[in-house]
């Protein structure tokens, strides 16, 4: 195991633990198939069928093999036993001899009911505080120095939350940048976690922006705020109905119990 790979794992743990602080539910599913079709000016359309989404895979970028991604997740489990592991289903990087060479991106699926609009907005509000809290353990272990998360922004037009964070990696004295794109959808969230060296921002920001903007869900799987509101309202109504039913049952038992007691007393006289 190389030191670089361990550094990458440590960096990804910031993103992993920050999601834990947000109290998200992690439901692992088996997502493994994908397709690469239709050339465009900036790369190829990458279709991930199990997740029902597609995006532009830039020129000179490649998919990191499933075997390497699985090894990555196995090491994370050993480093953080007892903690839920993020459901990374894909990883991409600029073509290189080494897996997870920067720049690279981890793609995560969080399976859950479609989030309400307020929950999506909370993803943006809580992004920076969650990163800061997650960073504490890495700072104490001397893996990282200063971390500077910027407030995330929710784009309601493209239905994506985008967050930015810069940090100093103490071991090799590198300044790194992470960009996180969070897409709500019918089955929960899809998150893209990009990592690259800070001195390459001008070079890779346009590439990453293109990937973020190109992300599309298949018909029927995109985020629908109006449907999300209905789902949330329906859930609240269901809770309200359950409370009313329980109250009726409780009063019914009390009244029925009193009648039984009265009958019992009159029969004993």
Q: How confident is the model at residue 238 (pLDDT cuts 50, 70, 90)?
A: very low
Contacts of 134 (CB under 8 A, 6+ apart): 13, 14, 15, 16, 17, 18, 20, 21
* Cα(25)–Cα(112) distance, integer angstroms: 7
The tally of CA atoms less than 13 A away on the side-chain side of residue 215 is 25
- 75 and 4 in contact (C-beta within 8 Å)? no
Q: Is the pLDDT of residue 140 over 80?
A: no
> Residue 165: exposed, middle, or buried by beta-carbon count in 10 A (0-12, 13-18, 19+)?
buried
| Greater model confidence, 129 or 262 | 129
pLDDT value, residue 259: 52
Of 67-76, 77-86, 249-258, highest mean pLDDT: 67-76
pLDDT value, residue 244: 43
Mean pLDDT of the 231-260 span? 48
Q: Is the pLDDT of residue 121 over 70?
A: yes
pLDDT value, residue 42: 66
Q: Is the pLDDT of residue 269 over 90?
A: no
pLDDT value, residue 38: 55
pLDDT value, residue 138: 67
Q: Is the pLDDT of residue 250 over 70?
A: no
User: What Cα–Cα distance (Å) separates residue 120 from each residue in 63, 151, 231?
Assistant: 28, 14, 14
DSSP for 20-38 reads: HHTT-----------EEEE
pLDDT tens digit sequence for 201-224: 999 999 999 999 999 999 999 999
| Residue 85 in tokens | 């592991």
- 93 and 62 in contact (C-beta within 8 Å)? yes
pLDDT tens digit sequence for 141-158: 666 777 889 989 999 989
- 144 and 165 in contact (C-beta within 8 Å)? no
- The strands making up 144-155's β-sheet, listed across from edge to edge, are 61-63, 88-94, 104-111, 188-197, 174-185, 160-169, 144-155
Q: Is the pLDDT of residue 46 over 90?
A: yes
pLDDT value, residue 143: 65
Mean pLDDT of the 33-49 span? 69
The percent of residues in the chain predicted with pLDDT above 70, rounded, is 66
DSSP for 188-231 reads: EEEEEEEEEEGGGHHHHHHHHHHHHHH-EEPTTTB--HHHHHHH
Q: Is the pLDDT of residue 172 over 60?
A: yes
Q: Is the pLDDT of residue 199 over 90?
A: yes
Q: What is the mean pLDDT of the chain?
A: 78
* Cα(93)–Cα(196) distance, integer angstroms: 10
Among the listed residues 77, 134, 82, 86, the one whose alpha carbon sits nearest the alpha carbon of residue 110: 86
| Greater model confidence, 167 or 74 | 74
Predicted TM-score (pTM) of this structure? 0.73
Q: Is the pLDDT of residue 20 over 60?
A: no
């Amino acid at each position: 195991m190389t030191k670089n790979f361990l550094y990458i794992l440590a960096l990804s743990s910031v993103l992993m633990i920050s999601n834990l602080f947000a109290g998200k539910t992690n439901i692992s599913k088996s997502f493994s198939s994908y397709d690469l079709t239709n050339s465009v000016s900036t790369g190829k359309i990458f279709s991930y069928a199990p997740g029902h989404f597609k995006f532009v895979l830039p020129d000179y970028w490649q998919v990191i093999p499933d075997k390497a991604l699985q090894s990555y997740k196995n090491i994370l489990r050993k480093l953080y036993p007892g903690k839920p592991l993020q459901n990374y289903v894909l990883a991409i990087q600029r073509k290189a001899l080494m897996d997870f060479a920067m720049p690279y991106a981890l793609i995560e699926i969080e399976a859950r009911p479609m989030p309400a609009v307020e929950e999506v907005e909370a993803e943006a509000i809580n992004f920076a505080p969650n990163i800061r809290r997650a960073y504490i353990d890495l700072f104490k272990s001397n893996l990282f120095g200063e971390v500077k998360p910027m407030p995330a922004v929710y784009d309601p037009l493209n239905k994506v939350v985008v967050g930015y964070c810069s940090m100093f990696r103490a071991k090799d004295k590198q300044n790194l940048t992470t960009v996180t794109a969070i897409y709500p959808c019918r089955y929960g969230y899809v998150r893209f976690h990009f990592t690259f060296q800070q001195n390459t921002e001008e070079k890779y920001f346009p590439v990453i922006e293109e990937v973020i903007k190109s992300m599309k869900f298949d018909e029927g799987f995109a985020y629908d705020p109006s449907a999300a509101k209905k789902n949330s309202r329906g859930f609240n109504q269901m809770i309200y109905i359950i409370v009313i039913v329980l109250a009726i049952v409780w009063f019914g038992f009390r009244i029925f119990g009193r009648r039984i007691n009265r009958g019992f007393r009159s029969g004993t006289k």
